[in-house]
């Protein structure tokens, strides 16, 4: 009998406790049975499978690392493993989930008032409400730390917001969008919970993306959009606070990269054992084995790295540079792994039905979002040298 195909070569999942392992396998089964059969069709059409949301809610895994607000206390390691399991089947789905559970719930968990947490976290956790996170702008991407063009002006007990956001995942159907804007008075970045249907809020779907086609990214325009002071994130007083959210979610993106790489590796390994040329499985050729082992080596290094990253997070010792280093390394290596996976599959590697082509495309989005390779490299560079090369 052939050995089992599993990209967890060093058994990282053995570091989970039995209850956590059960949850990992439950999410894996969900991804295999509910998402895998429909994913290529939705990806091709660039649509989101809305009917899946109640089933995701049943898994009860949103915001799994945040204590309280009807959440049992679990770990960042568990959260990371689940992100990997999702991305192993589909990076779009994992990204939809990451926006909801990480960027949106995380912002409210870290920076919201008690009332804001009570109002939003249970609803977001149960996916009765969907969230989006609006930081990037048409003209401000990597440079968000250096100033935003979205402006917030306080008038009495309300704020008016004016400006645009670009690339905002889940924005087309979100019930609440966290908008990051620069206060015209003190020039600090503040966060606002902008509710769906607020007058002055317009969202346009971005079309023709070549990656993450299931994720509904929007361009948001706010025109004299009125938001009450109670809907301003009460503990978000400067970009440093926003960066605390990004530190946490970047660690999640590193796990997502691992999932993408693992999905491609496992598909390629299976394919090479089944595909025959010259009368033999192509997996029996030395040059193919060299590719496969190189992929597995990188994948194993990535998994070991993110497992330690989550331990740091669980011990409350995670720094910006820890998260950035892992994001850079994993997204870079993922690009390598998916392209090797495509290579060993020959022509079929570029057909959507063989899955790997989707991983190749989606790896490009992972590479650029939540801080590009350059920006995360400069965050590490600043930490090790003491000199900031970018702000
Ligand atoms: P730019 O900032 O214009 O960068 C272009 C190039 O210049 C990059 O290679 C960059 O590394 C390089 N560069 C820039 N500055 C420097 C420097 N100082 N030194 C060296 N090189 C530099 N944003 C959100 O707010 N919410 C979302 O939900 C969201 N989802 C996304 C989903 C997808 C699929 C994608 C692709 C993006 C998403 N983003 C989202 C935006 C994402 O975070 C930005 O694309 C990213 O921060 C890079 O910004 P940019 O695309 O404007 O590139």
What DSSP assignment string belongs to 84-118? HHHHHH-HHHHHHHHIIIIIIHHHHHHH--HHHHH
Tens digits of residue pLDDT in 124-143: 999 999 999 999 999 999 99
Q: For residue 197, give the DSSP letter.
A: T
Q: What is the pLDDT of residue 390?
A: 85
Mean pLDDT of 380-387: 98
Cβ of 171 less than 6 Å from ligand 1:
no
Nearest CA to ligand 1 atom 49: 141
Could you tell me the distance, in angstroms and rounded to a whole number, from the CA of residue 368 to the centre of ligand 1? 6
Q: What Å distances lie between residue 366 and 100, 338, 360, CA to CA?
A: 17, 12, 10
Q: For residue 3, give the DSSP letter.
A: P
With b for 16 or more beta-carbon neighbours within 10 A and e for fewer, the 83-120 pattern comes to bbbbbbbbbbbbbbbbbbbbbbbbbbbbbbeeebbebb
Q: What is the pLDDT of residue 71?
A: 66
Q: Is the per-residue pLDDT at 372 higher than 60?
A: yes
Residues forming beta bridges with residue 192, ordered by sequence position: 179, 232
Q: What is the pLDDT of residue 270?
A: 96
Q: What is the pLDDT of residue 73?
A: 65
Nearest CA to ligand 1 atom 36: 365
Q: Is the per-residue pLDDT at 3 higher than 90?
A: no
Nearest CA to ligand 1 atom 23: 136
Q: What is the pLDDT of residue 391?
A: 73
**Nearest-angstrom CA–CA distance, 33 and 93:** 14
Tens digits of residue pLDDT in 66-124: 877 766 668 899 999 999 999 999 999 999 999 999 999 999 999 999 999 999 999 99
When pLDDT is cut at 50, 70 and 90, the band that residue 354 belongs to is very high
Tokens of 274: 């089944």
**Nearest-angstrom CA–CA distance, 57 and 377:** 36
Nearest CA to ligand 1 atom 15: 142
Mean pLDDT of 26-36: 97
Q: Is the per-residue pLDDT at 272 higher than 80?
A: yes
Tens digits of residue pLDDT in 186-212: 999 999 999 999 999 999 999 999 999
Cβ of 381 less than 6 Å from ligand 1:
no
Q: Report the residue among 141, 213, 245 best suited for mutation to probe ligand 1: largest number of ligand atoms under 8 A from its CB.
A: 141
Q: What is the pLDDT of residue 56?
A: 97
Quote the percentage of the chain above a pLDDT of 70. 98
Which of 119, 123, 87, 41 minimizes the C-alpha distance to 265?
87
Could you tell me the distance, in angstroms and rounded to a whole number, from the CA of residue 327 to the centre of ligand 1? 14
Q: What is the pLDDT of residue 5?
A: 76
Mean residue pLDDT across the chain: 96
Q: What is the pLDDT of residue 66?
A: 87
Asked whether the ipTM of the predicted complex exceeds the cut of 0.95, the reply is: yes
Cβ of 8 less than 6 Å from ligand 1:
no
Mean pLDDT of 355-362: 98
Q: What is the pLDDT of residue 69?
A: 73
Q: What is the pLDDT of residue 70?
A: 63
Cβ of 180 less than 6 Å from ligand 1:
no
Q: Is the per-residue pLDDT at 1 higher than 60?
A: no
Q: What is the pLDDT of residue 72?
A: 67
Cβ of 198 less than 6 Å from ligand 1:
no
């Amino acid at each position: 009998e052939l050995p089992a195909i599993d990209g967890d070569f060093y058994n990282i999942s053995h570091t989970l406790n039995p209850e956590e392992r059960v949850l990992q396998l439950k999410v894996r089964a969900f991804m295999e049975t509910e998402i895998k059969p429909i994913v290529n069709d939705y990806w091709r059409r660039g649509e989101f499978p809305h009917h899946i949301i109640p089933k995701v809610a049943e898994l009860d895994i949103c915001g799994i690392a945040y204590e309280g607000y009807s959440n049992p206390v679990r770990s960042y390691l568990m959260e990371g493993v689940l992100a990997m399991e999702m991305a192993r089947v589909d990076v779009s789905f994992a990204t939809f989930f990451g926006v909801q559970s990480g960027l949106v719930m995380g912002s409210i968990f870290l920076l919201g008032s008690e009332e804001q947490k009570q109002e939003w976290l249970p609803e977001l956790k149960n996916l009765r409400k969907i969230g989006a996170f609006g930081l990037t702008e048409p003209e401000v991407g990597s440079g968000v730390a250096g100033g935003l063009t979205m402006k917030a002006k306080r008038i009495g007990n309300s704020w008016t917001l004016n400006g645009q956001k670009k690339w905002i995942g889940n924005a087309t159907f979100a019930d609440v969008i966290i908008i990051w804007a620069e206060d015209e008075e003190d020039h600090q970045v503040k966060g606002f919970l902008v509710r769906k249907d607020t007058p002055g809020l317009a969202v346009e779907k971005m079309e023709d993306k070549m990656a993450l086609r299931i994720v509904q990214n929007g361009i948001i325009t706010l025109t004299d959009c009125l938001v009450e002071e109670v809907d301003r994130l009460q503990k978000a007083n400067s970009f440093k606070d926003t960066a605390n959210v990004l530190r946490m979610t970047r660690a999640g993106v590193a796990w997502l990269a691992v999932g993408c790489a693992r999905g491609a590796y496992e598909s390629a390994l299976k394919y090479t054992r089944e595909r025959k040329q010259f009368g033999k499985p192509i997996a029996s050729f030395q040059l193919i084995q060299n590719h496969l082992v190189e992929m597995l080596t990188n994948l194993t290094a990535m998994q070991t790295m993110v497992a330690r990253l989550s331990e740091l997070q669980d011990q409350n010792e995670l720094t910006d540079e820890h998260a950035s280093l892992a994001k850079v390394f994993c997204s870079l290596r993922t690009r390598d792994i998916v392209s090797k996976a495509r290579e060993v599959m020959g022509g079929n590697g570029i057909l959507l039905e063989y899955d790997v082509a989707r991983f190749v495309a989606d790896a490009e989005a992972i590479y650029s979002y939540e801080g590009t390779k350059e920006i995360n490299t400069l965050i590490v560079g600043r930490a090790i040298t003491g000199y900031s090369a970018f702000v």
